Amino acid sequence: MIPDQWYVVASSDQIKNSPVGVTRMGEKLVFWRDGAGQVSCLRDRCVHRGVRLSAGKVLDNHRLQCPFHGFEYDVSGVVTRIPANGKNTPVPERFRVHGYPTHEAHGFIWIWWGEEPPQDLQPPRFFDDLGDGFSYGQVIDPWDAHYSRVIENQLDVAHLPFVHYNTIGRGNRALVDGPIVEWVDQEQFMFYVYNRVDDGTPPRRPDHMPSPDPERDFHLAFIFPNLWQNYIGDDVRVMAAFVPVDDEHTLLYLRFYQRFMRLPLLRGLLNRLAMPFNRHVAHQDRRVVVTQHPKPSALRMDEQLIQADRPIVEYRRRRHELQQEKSTT
């Protein structure tokens, strides 16, 4: 994983007022909401005897109580009361667990996964064009794969006629011109897909192709560290958050967005009806991706890449840069 990043880790409807324990980034974490609905996140391990805090309860809408000896934690992870010592006895400063900054928007919950957040910590990025008028359906799908492999699958433009031969890859468009990758900034890139039937001519290099037109050309986008969007049309998108559980497991939060149906009852029905097909397509991918070895990907590894893999190369390069930056600071 890349430290010091905002990661989508859950959807809003998964976190209620009672503590919820999950595994994310290989860590046991506990989430809960206070009386104002604000989400908090701590490492799920009592500083006293190692009990899971997620088995406890929330007191007075904001303090988390350990189920073993009643230690009480505030939203930052500081122990505010040790019952066995009496309510008037000060708690030593060393009694605390690590807490993560949280952010909630667009039906997602993010945590800033790092040790010391900066003083000017900015909110996480999302896709600016998934705003007004869009509604969505969602499924949460478990994959026995490292999150980097699941991401790269959605950056892979050459697998469609083979993995999805009877769904989105029909037409045998196996030859890949380009693809063209354009960086929006250091956190986001877009890539344009030009697959065609093999007519005997070689694939065109990206620098030998016309400049892409976002209004005309099929494209997708990725925001580091774990958000992806497929621009199917102005009013239809597929979006995914690749949530790291541990080094061998990922949760795919897959969404179908649309804004052509606005009647509330029909809108919700349409969004739900779209998800079985989207999940079926994802499962075609999953069957292959879970067999990849080694589990995580890397910039330098024993794989012979081709021109069509350019979005994957760009992802690996930037991910490597971010990891190196954090290892030297």
Task: Pick one of 3.90.380.10, 3.40.50.300, 1.10.3720.10, 3.40.50.1820 as the CATH number of 135-327.
Answer: 3.90.380.10
Which residues is 142 bridged to in the sheet?
251
Tell me which residue of 100, 59, 93 sits closest to 79, measured CA to CA: 93
pLDDT in tens, 7-42: 999 999 999 889 999 999 999 999 999 988 999 999
Considering the entire predicted model, what is its pTM? 0.94
Q: Which two tokens stand for residue 277?
A: 């097909």
Tell me the torsion sign for CA atoms 141, 250, 248, 157: positive
Asked if the domains at 5-113 and 135-327 fall in one CATH topology, the answer is no
What is the H or E stretch that residue 15 is in? none
Q: Which contiguous run of DSSP H or E holds residue 160?
A: helix 160-163
For the chain, the structural domain boundaries read 5-113, 135-327
> What is the per-residue pLDDT across 303-329, written as a single tens digit (0 to 9) for each?
999 999 999 999 999 999 999 987 655
Q: Cα(111)–Cα(27) distance, rounded to whole angstroms?
A: 12
DSSP letter at 206 equals G
Domain 5-113 sits in which CATH superfamily?
Answer: Rieske [2Fe-2S] iron-sulphur domain (2.102.10.10)
pLDDT tens-place string over residues 43-72:
999 999 999 999 999 998 889 999 999 999
